[in-house]
Structure 1
Amino acid sequence: MKPTLFLVMDMMNDLVAEDGFNAKTYGVQVKERGVLENTRAAIAAARAAGALVGYVRVGFSSDYREAPEASPIFSGARKNGIFQLGTWGTQVHDSIAPEPQDFDIVKHRVSPFYSTSLEAILRAHKISRIVMCGVSTNGVVHSGAREAHDRDYEVVVLEDCCAGVTPDEHNHAVACMGRFGQIVESRAFRWDEGDTTSPA
Structure 2
Amino acid sequence: MSSSNTALLVMDLQPAILGGIPEVPLTALLGRIKKAIQAAHHHKIPVIYVALSFRPGAPEVSSNNSFFNAARERFDNPHFGAIHPDVAPKLGDIVVYKKRFSAFTGSDLEVVLRGLNAKHLVMAGVSTSGVVLSTTREAADKDYQLTILTDGCHDADEEVHRVLTTKVLPKQAQMISIDDWCEGLA
User: Is 1:128 paired with 2:119?
Assistant: yes
Could you tell me which of 55, 70, 74 is aligned with 1:76? 70
User: Is 1:44 paired with 2:13?
Assistant: no
Shift of 1:2: 2.3
Aligned CA distance change for structure 1 residues 154 and 29 (closer, same or farther; 3 Å) = farther
Shift of 1:64: 1.3
Could you tell me which of 10, 29, 45 is aligned with 1:35? 29
Could you tell me which of 163, 175, 185 is aligned with 1:183? 175
Structure 2 residues not aligned, in runs of 5+: none
Aligned CA distance change for structure 1 residues 173 and 185 (closer, same or farther; 3 Å) = same
Shift of 1:33: 8.1
Higher helix share: 2
User: TM-score when scaled to structure 2?
Assistant: 0.90
Aligned CA distance change for structure 1 residues 190 and 94 (closer, same or farther; 3 Å) = closer
Partner of 1:7: 9
Shift of 1:6: 0.4
Distance (Å, rounded) in 2 between the aligned partners of 1:77 and 1:11: 17
Which amino acid is 1:46 matched to? A
Aligned CA distance change for structure 1 residues 136 and 8 (closer, same or farther; 3 Å) = same
Aligned CA distance change for structure 1 residues 190 and 36 (closer, same or farther; 3 Å) = closer
Shift of 1:190: 4.3
User: Is 1:105 paired with 2:96?
Assistant: yes
Shift of 1:172: 2.1
Aligned-partner SS, 1:161 = strand
Which amino acid is 2:25 matched to? K
Partner of 2:137: 146
Q: Quick check: 1:2–1:192 contact (8 Å CA) kept in 2?
A: no
User: How many residues are matched?
Assistant: 183
Aligned-partner SS, 2:152 = strand
Which amino acid is 2:12 matched to? D
Aligned-partner SS, 1:34 = helix
Structure 1 residues not aligned, in runs of 5+: 17-21, 195-200
Percent of pairs with identical residues:
29
Which amino acid is 2:61 matched to? A
RMSD: 2.0
User: TM-score when scaled to structure 1?
Assistant: 0.84
Shift of 1:192: 6.1
Aligned-partner SS, 2:17 = helix
Distance (Å, rounded) in 2 between the aligned partners of 1:30 and 1:110: 25
Aligned CA distance change for structure 1 residues 15 and 30 (closer, same or farther; 3 Å) = farther
Shift of 1:29: 8.5
Which amino acid is 1:5 matched to? A
Shift of 1:34: 2.1
Partner of 2:110: 119
User: 4+ runs of 1 displaced by more than 6 Å?
Assistant: none
Q: Quick check: 2:36–2:182 contact (8 Å CA) kept in 1?
A: no
Q: Quick check: 1:158–1:185 contact (8 Å CA) kept in 2?
A: yes
Which amino acid is 2:178 matched to? S
Q: Quick check: 2:53–2:97 contact (8 Å CA) kept in 1?
A: yes
Could you tell me which of 75, 86, 105 is aligned with 2:78? 86
Which amino acid is 1:131 matched to? V
